[in-house]
Chain A
Amino acid sequence: MIRNTKITAEVVKEHGLTEDEYALLLKIMDREPTLAELGIFSVMWSEHCSYKSSRVWLKTFPTSGPKVLQGPGENAGAVDIGDGLAAVFKIESHNHPSFIEPYQGAATGVGGILRDVFTMGARPIANLNALRFGDPKHPKTKHLVSGVVAGIGGYGNCVGVPTVAGETNFHPSYNGNILVNAMTVGLARADRIFKAAARGPGNRVLYVGAKTGRDGIHGATMASAEFTEESEAKRPTVQVGDPFTEKLLLEACLELMAEDAIVAIQDMGAAGLTSSSVEMAARGGLGIDLDLDRVPVRETGMTAYEIMLSESQERMLLIVKPGAEKVAERIFAKWELDCADIGEVTTTGHLVVSKNGKVEIDIPVAPLVDQSPLYRRPHVPSPKRPEIKAANTKVVDPIEALKKLMGCPDLASKRWIWDQYDHLVGNDTIQTPGGDAAVVRVRDTRKALAMVVDCTPRYCLADPKTGGAQAVVETWRNLTAVGAEPIAITDNLNFGNPERPEIMGQIVGCIEGMGEACRALDYPVISGNVSLYNETNGQAILPTPVVGGVGLLDEYTQTVGIGLREPGRALVLIGETKGWLGASLYLREIAGWEEGAPPPIDLKRERKTGDLVRSLIRTGKVAACHDLSDGGLLVAIAEMALAGGTGAMLAAPPKGIPAHAWWFGEDQARYVVGTSNAEAVLAAAKAAGVPARIVGETAAGSLTLAGGGAISLGELRAIHEGWLPKYMS
């Protein structure tokens, strides 16, 4: 054992371990650790890698179902989509690095999630992202938007995976902690899903991909601490991405997977070689010996500590049968990538790492993983907010309010962003960005996958349980609105410091609401990621549990978009409208008031309404469909009008509901459909016991409210499309 650094209390603290955690480490090791060993415990027990604050709550999610082939715990989840195929997907955050270095932070976020998916044997077919930035007036926001968008595009475009959907919001709570959540969806053969459990003592451990450098050391630990003014000095802990190498690694891995060579495979993501080797050994209940002298490095003089903790990108660890190294070497040579035999699977149950012929690390794997700290942190529920009566809110002319909402940062068109993403490569993108959900065809079949990411953080702040449920339900509704059957979700829980009971209360509340919604909709969680400590100087972000949903269309030609394309069609509102303005966008943008309880969620009604809408779409009864969310009915119809280039003449609000609540209320479980067969739609709704009413008719040129003003599509488009390009110029 090499011991050239004394492990003092100071060194332990720098590694982010508490006194109790260090005491546990000593008990497991039964001796003082080497610095490299301490480094390994530090990253493996970081919040990022160990989920120590969230694990007890994550266990409450429903994670199984008839279509689930792989639930949480592997590199990504997988569901059966028939025809012998599986959809493999996951979402992951790269929040902290993206704030420090937006281009590389966001780019490597995309790289990491792509690897998580192709590690499973799936070819990535689509990327999505959920972005949260600070106040547009904050001096940093513009620079961050520009860098993050360029980074996501720069990586995904080069790898050749289309970026098909996403969402972007702005709120001052993200001024010091932006959120960059990236999701990848891939396709694999259902009987050829690759996993990360080491098997077979004597099997070889292969390192493939890019060389190891000193970048990103302790990225996982950084992602597990609050930001302070000094955080920007942590720029060197941000990794640098190389999408070209990723593309080669993707092709080489898929080529090797087609051979019978790989026993297990794991991406070197957070905590690099450490987490990949430890997790593979732990899952297989085995040990691994590594010889670091054989690791391809791009700098000289790297120590065991540095090699084990480097987060250099575009690397994979494989376990192959003896003899299969040759196959791997041939394929990786073709793709001009390194492939090195760096060790073997053992029966010792220990991770034993040597360098220069000396053992530098010898850790029992099972306790490192199984005894990792687990906290049931104290939590207090968020205080209940009062309901806000529509009669007590500010009333402005509906057309004026519409103009303001359609041009506000959260609702303004994000075309400036998706124009920078190649959303077409592959030629299977059936529904492009800007609709309710993207639809990507499953090549060589009649099927397509629908996919979307959603979260309404202001609802989560107002009432975590309702907000958590709403995030799940909104994805379900968006998938339904393109005609898809929702299958499963992945989640990215972004919160502040879990050591604060009120933040922990948000986490617990959101998870409870999400779980309840997933159970009611038979919509299990199959993968996910947790990002905590999103705080700067004690200022936490809004609770932001982002949900990524995936659904299936058996016949891709049945999908409908949001665009209204022909005049003379009826617009039918499906679902019940009471005019709920609490925590609405109208209240925030028009009245300047971030108050009130969010709209309640009725999961039975959601399901009944969504099932009706899906059957209307699949039987060809509607030509356009849009779910109602931020901004309510009038915003939804305005979006439909702009998307298809046809306006509408809208009927006056029904009696009993104030006009502003009718137009802008955010009651849930609602959709608007455009149809030439309103009678059939109304009859089907009646039969299903779902309220539905005709609210207008499509008409060329403008949006007109009966007895309440009008706006031309040209003016509306200028407002809606104008904000972001103007802001970024």
Chain B
Amino acid sequence: MKAAVVSFPGSNRERDIMMALERASGVKPSLLWHGDAEIPDTDLIVVPGGFSYGDYLRCGAMAAHSPVMKALKEKAARGTPVLGVCNGFQILVEAGLLPGALMRNASLKFVCRQVHLRVEDSQSLFTNAYEKGQVIRVPVAHAEGNYTADEDTLKKLEDRGLVAFRYVAPDGSLSPEANPNGSIRAIAGIFNDSKTVLGLMPHPEDATDPHAGGMDGFGMFKSLVNALH
């Protein structure tokens, strides 16, 4: 699997996700810069976490209009899989590749902690190594991860099985304490209609090492390798 990681001034988890991709695929991903107007042929495009352009405006709003995102949108439209994590999720939402919005956390504070996610769909490119309903432990680290969308969008996401992950208690049940940011319906990650684009707030890449955060996030990268070789 050949992956390309897009980085912006202010990206800061690109190294984390490049390590995770390499651990799963054995292939070093390439790194793209925000001004790149073209994206070479690749099996997967990743938008990593960080604070693109400082995120002084709405998170991801500036990055969504960068040259590389124009190229990314074209690739995505032609079916190249795209993964957006944390700031990457925010950027994909701002770029219109995923519906809804990410608001300030309900606590109004940055939150970095381990959370539990329930895998809502195990048939996708991104989640085929997991079981449906499996609970995984991965960290979050963000100030604006409070997902929201209008009722019609939520209904569509639920009806078509486009909710990828939800924040849950360790036993898989929904509870307000298990939701770190106040996201509606405890939504942690969503797919686009064709399930070729996934955006999520948590950091599976920081759970791909038995000595640093455990291995629960590795399944996502393994899934991608399974699907994209």
Contacts and interface: CB of A to CB of B under 8 A. Distances in A.
B12 A425 contact: yes
Interface in A417-433: 418-430
B209 to A, nearest CB: 7
A12 interface: no
Contact of B213 (A242, A244, A419, A427): A427
Given A154-B110, A335-B9, A427 B209 contact: yes
Interface string B198-225: 0000010110110111000000000000
Interface stretch (A157-165, A648-656, A704-712): A157-165
A332 interface: no
Contact of A243 (B19, B54, B141, B206): B54
A465 interface: no
A248 B12 CA distance: 11
A244 B211 contact: no
Nearest to A248: B9
B50 interface: yes
A399 B164 CA distance: 46
A422 B9 contact: no
A551 B209 CA distance: 23
Interface in B1-27: 9-10, 12-13, 15-16, 19-20
A581 B132 CA distance: 56
Contacts of B208: 427
Interface in B94-119: 109-113
A670 interface: no
B112 A244 contact: no
Nearest to A251: B9
Interface string A239-260: 0001111011000000000000
Question: Interface size class for chain A?
Answer: 20 to 34
B54 A419 contact: no
A158 B16 contact: no
Nearest to B143: A157
B110 A160 contact: no
A153 B51 CA distance: 13
Interface in A556-589: 556-557
A336 interface: yes
Interface string A674-717: 00000000000000000000000000000000000000000000
Contacts of B20: 427
Given A419-B113, A424-B203, A430-B211, A244 B53 contact: yes
A421 B143 CA distance: 10
Given A158-B54, A336-B9, A420 B112 contact: yes
Contacts of B9: 244, 247-248, 335-336
B111 A420 contact: yes
A441 interface: yes
A425 B212 contact: no
A247 B12 contact: yes
A423 B141 CA distance: 9
A713 B97 CA distance: 46
A172 B189 CA distance: 46
Interface of A: 150, 153-154, 157-160, 242-245, 247-248, 335-336, 418-430, 441, 556-557
13 contacts: A150-B109, A157-B143, A244-B10, A244-B53, A244-B55, A419-B112, A420-B111, A420-B112, A422-B112, A423-B112, A424-B206, A428-B212, A557-B211
Interface of B: 9-10, 12-13, 15-16, 19-20, 49-51, 53-56, 109-113, 139, 141, 143, 203, 205-206, 208-209, 211-213
- Give the 4 A-B CB pairs with smallest separation, nearest first: A160-B12, A244-B54, A427-B16, A422-B141
Given A153-B110, A424-B139, A429-B212, 16 more contacts: A157-B141, A158-B12, A242-B54, A244-B9, A244-B55, A335-B9, A420-B109, A422-B141, A423-B112, A424-B141, A425-B16, A427-B16, A427-B20, A429-B213, A430-B211, A441-B211
